[in-house]
Amino acid sequence: MSLDDQPIMQPNPKRVKIESRDTNGTYKTQSRTKWVIEALYSESVVARLWRVAAKALGSANPPILFPEYTGNDSAFYVYRSLDFWTSGFFPGSLYLLLERLMKYPQDTPLSQAKNDGNSLMPHPLQLEHLCKWWTANLHQNALKHDTHDLGFMIAPWAMKAWELQRDAAAYNSLIMAAHSLASRFNSTTQCLQSWDVCVTNRYSFTDPSKDFLVIIDNMLNLDLLFWVARETSNSLLFDIARAHAKTTQKHHIRKDNTTFHVVNFDAQTGNVKAKFTNQGYSDDSCWARGQAWGILGFMQTFGWTSDKSFLETAKALADYFLAHLPADGVPYWDFTAPVLATSPRDTSAAMVAGCGLLLLHKALKGTSDGDHYLREAINLVDATVTKFLNPPTIQFQTTQCTSKVLVYPEGCLDENDSDGFNKLTVGDQLTSKPRDTILDGATINNYEFAPRRWSNHGLVYADYYFLLFGNMLLELDLVNGESQCID
**What's the pLDDT at 20?**
41
* Mean pLDDT of the 204-232 span: 97
**Residue 161 in domain:** yes
pTM of the model: 0.89
Same-domain check for residues 276 and 419: no
Decide if 316 contacts 428 (C-beta within 8 A).
no
Same-domain check for residues 132 and 156: yes
**What's the pLDDT at 300?**
98
Q: What percent of the chain has pLDDT over 70?
A: 83
**Residue 454 in domain:** yes
Same-domain check for residues 338 and 422: no
Same-domain check for residues 420 and 456: no
**What's the pLDDT at 133?**
97
**Residue 486 in domain:** no
Q: Is the pLDDT of residue 216 over 80?
A: yes
Annotated catalytic, 149?
A: yes
Confidence band, pLDDT 50/70/90 cuts, at residue 231: very high
Same-domain check for residues 241 and 315: yes
Q: Is the pLDDT of residue 114 over 60?
A: no
pLDDT tens profile 245-288: 999 999 999 999 999 999 999 999 999 999 999 999 999 999 99
Cα 151 to its chain centre, rounded Å, is: 13
**What's the pLDDT at 419?**
53
pLDDT, mean over the chain: 87
- DSSP code per residue over 23-78: TTS-EEEEEEE-HHHHHHT-HHHHHHHHHHHGGGTTSSS--SEEEEEE-TT-SSEE
**Residue 481 in domain:** no
- Higher-scoring residue by pLDDT: 140, 427: 140
* Mean pLDDT of the 169-196 span: 98
- Higher-scoring residue by pLDDT: 140, 478: 140
**Residue 480 in domain:** no
**What's the pLDDT at 109?**
58
**What's the pLDDT at 7?**
30
* Rounded Cα–Cα distance for residues 68 and 91 (Å): 12
* Rounded Cα–Cα distance for residues 337 and 224 (Å): 33
Same-domain check for residues 400 and 449: no
* Rounded Cα–Cα distance for residues 484 and 378 (Å): 13
Confidence band, pLDDT 50/70/90 cuts, at residue 25: very low
Query: SS3 for 384?
Result: helix
**Residue 484 in domain:** no
**What's the pLDDT at 18?**
41
Same-domain check for residues 368 and 415: no
Instruction: Find the radius of gyration of the CA atoms of the chain.
Output: 23
pLDDT tens profile 116-134: 555 577 888 999 999 999 9
Same-domain check for residues 412 and 282: no
Same-domain check for residues 159 and 84: yes
**Residue 330 in domain:** yes
Confidence band, pLDDT 50/70/90 cuts, at residue 295: very high
**What's the pLDDT at 421?**
66
Domain containing 412: what range? 394-428
**What's the pLDDT at 174?**
98
Cα separations (Å) of 396 from 22, 129, 319, 412?
A: 37, 18, 41, 27
* Rounded Cα–Cα distance for residues 430 and 380 (Å): 27
Confidence band, pLDDT 50/70/90 cuts, at residue 468: very high
* Mean pLDDT of the 427-452 span: 86
Q: Is the pLDDT of residue 388 over 90?
A: yes
CA dihedral in degrees (86, 91, 96, 98; nearest 10)? Answer: 180
Q: Which of 107, 149, 167, 463 is catalytic?
A: 149
**What's the pLDDT at 39?**
84
Same-domain check for residues 282 and 420: no
**What's the pLDDT at 413?**
52
**What's the pLDDT at 33?**
34
pLDDT tens profile 156-169: 999 999 999 999 99
Q: Which of 107, 217, 334, 346 is catalytic?
A: 217
Q: Of how many residues is the chain composed? A: 487
If one counts the domains in the chain, the total is: 2
**What's the pLDDT at 482?**
41
Same-domain check for residues 276 and 330: yes
Same-domain check for residues 315 and 420: no
- Higher-scoring residue by pLDDT: 253, 41: 253
**What's the pLDDT at 412?**
56
By mean pLDDT, which of 17-26, 220-229, 333-342 is the weakest? 17-26
Q: Is the pLDDT of residue 29 over 80?
A: no
* Mean pLDDT of the 464-475 span: 96
Confidence band, pLDDT 50/70/90 cuts, at residue 430: low
pLDDT tens profile 59-93: 899 999 999 999 877 789 999 999 999 999 999 99
By mean pLDDT, which of 132-146, 340-354, 389-403, 439-453 is the weakest? 389-403
Q: Is the pLDDT of residue 1 over 50?
A: no
